[in-house]
Amino acid sequence: MPHIPLKNLQLSGKSREGSYKMSVIGIVSEFNPFHNGHKYLIDSVRKDGDTVVCVMSGNFVQRAEPSLFTKQTKTRTALAGGIDAVLELPFLYAVGSTECFAENAVRILCEFGCDSIAFGVEDGNRDAIINAAVTLGSPEFCERVEKYLCQNESFPAARQKAFSDFGINFDLSLPNNILAVAYTKAVIKNYPDVKIIPVKRKNAAHDTDEMKDGFTSASNIRKMITENNGFSAFVPANVNEILSSAVSSGEYCDYEKYSLLLMSELRKRKEEYFRKTAYMTEELFNRVIKYAGSALNATELFEILKTKRYTHSRIRRAVLCSYFGITNDDIKIPAPYVRVLGFKQDKINVYRSLVSASGLPVAVSYRDFEKIGSAGADRVFSLEAKASDIHSIILKNPRPSGTEESFKIIKE
């Protein structure tokens, strides 16, 4: 089994209570929407003088679907909830595979100057997370997963069985555990001097309706909002004001509109187009072509397409990439810039220092993107603009296109 001595990795947790200096802590986030569990994570990792920076998915999220709220609303809630600077995880990576999502999120945070990466996890055992991350990156592990896939196991089951074969006791059926391992793997691979800070989640389990002591899942809060049920008990009071204002003004996603847009486009697609699509296989695109004409909405289509080999998330991702024209070449582009969505005014000096020392070009305005002048940056931003234009039209109260070109950094 591949092994990296744990002493060679920068771990954090109680060890931070000894000698201490100011830290810039990075958090990968979606805030879809921001809730008490997110506030707990931020408060758990911050010490006096620390700066907490998040990289956040924008108008689309890692579930490969639209965010309930706009990136502007989410940025305001992040700042209200304790984040000092909000960076954007571009659309191309936000809707990518777990590895694509994690690698580019970690890249943006670390190149911006974060010396620590914090994340919520179901199991706070750091050694287990690191061992799982090291194993996940080994060729032997990939071969073992492929062996189980050939035995008609689903991908999640194949991955968990392979872990068991390697003696790793870590539950990858839990989404936050999967992401924790992916972040750690990206840190080990590219930024070994960066610390990891796993924080055991206090809130309800992911994607459940469980409610306890002011905590529930983001999916349950989304359900409350779309069904006009009260959600204020599960978000900080100042965040509730922002979200309630967005709801009352219709600045939140109507998923039925998105479903119609998706289905109308899929019914027009030709076979040649699907062949270029990221995350699409020949088997899957044949099924999409076969059933896109008979399914009445996206949810029905995804249910028809699901097999042991293709999970709902994989199907949503491939179909979304088809809709937006995302290719296999696109997802190979490493994050080409750091985009700042907002920051706290009282951290202006720290913010300026981070910007000046950033390892990637920093973009705030539309003109900044034009100055970067690379094909990769142009492609990533063009997909961002397209995604935001679609998100604008599927809001309860639709907005005109062009929101990316007119976007102004949010200062609180």
Cis peptide upstream of residue 156 (ω within 30 degrees of 0) = no
pLDDT in tens, 358-397: 999 999 999 999 899 899 999 999 999 999 999 999 999 9
C-alpha 333, offset from chain centre: 17
Is residue 122 within 8 A of residue 103, CB to CB? The reply is no
User: In Å, what is the CA distance from 309 to each residue of 68, 80, 82, 197, 283?
Assistant: 28, 41, 40, 33, 10
Instruction: Check pLDDT > 80 for residue 204.
Output: no
pLDDT of residue 208: 58
pLDDT of residue 261: 94
Least confident stretch, 57-71, 148-162, 230-244, 246-260: 148-162
* d(C-alpha 99, C-alpha 225), whole Å: 30
Q: How many CA atoms lie within 13 A of 189 on its CB side?
A: 18
What does the mean pLDDT of the chain come to?
90
Checking DSSP bridges between strand 116-121 and strand 24-29, what pairing results, if any?
parallel
* d(C-alpha 32, C-alpha 28), whole Å: 12
Residue percentage of the chain with pLDDT more than 70: 92
Q: Higher model confidence: residue 345 or residue 229?
A: 345
Q: At what angle do helices 298-305 and 255-266 cross, to 10 degrees?
A: 60
* Confidence band of 211 (pLDDT split at 50, 70, 90): confident
Residues 6+ apart with CB under 8 A from 173: 156, 160
pLDDT of residue 274: 73
Least confident stretch, 213-227, 329-343, 377-391: 213-227
pLDDT of residue 7: 36
Checking DSSP bridges between strand 410-411 and strand 211-212, what pairing results, if any?
unpaired
pLDDT of residue 207: 55
**Four-CA torsion 119, 125, 126, 132, nearest 10 degrees:** -90
Instruction: Check pLDDT > 60 for residue 84.
Output: yes
CA geometry: angle at 32 spanning 29 and 36, to 5°? 80
Taking alpha carbons only, the member of 180, 78, 165 closest to residue 123 is 180
pLDDT in tens, 16-53: 344 446 799 999 999 999 999 999 999 999 987 799 99
In the 8-state DSSP scheme, what is residue 396? S
Alpha helices in 227-311 (DSSP H): 237-248, 255-266, 271-275, 282-291, 298-305
* d(C-alpha 246, C-alpha 98), whole Å: 29
Rg (CA), the chain: 21
pLDDT of residue 125: 82
Is residue 32 within 8 A of residue 61, CB to CB? The reply is yes
pLDDT of residue 8: 40
Alpha helices in 112-167 (DSSP H): 126-136, 139-150, 155-165
Q: Residue 157: count other Cβ atoms within 10 Å of its Cβ.
A: 17
CATH 3.40.50.620 fits 6-122+174-248, yes or no: yes
End-to-end CA distance of the chain: 49
Report domain extents, the chain. Answer: 6-122+174-248, 255-330
pLDDT in tens, 125-170: 888 899 999 998 889 999 999 999 899 888 888 988 998 898 888 8
pLDDT of residue 205: 54
pLDDT in tens, 303-325: 999 988 888 999 999 999 999 99
Q: Determine the number of helices (DSSP H) and then strands (DSSP E) in the chain.
A: 19, 12
Average pLDDT for 262-278 = 82
Residues 6+ apart with CB under 8 A from 346: none
pTM, rounded to two decimals: 0.92
Is residue 32 within 8 A of residue 243, CB to CB? The reply is no
* d(C-alpha 31, C-alpha 120), whole Å: 13
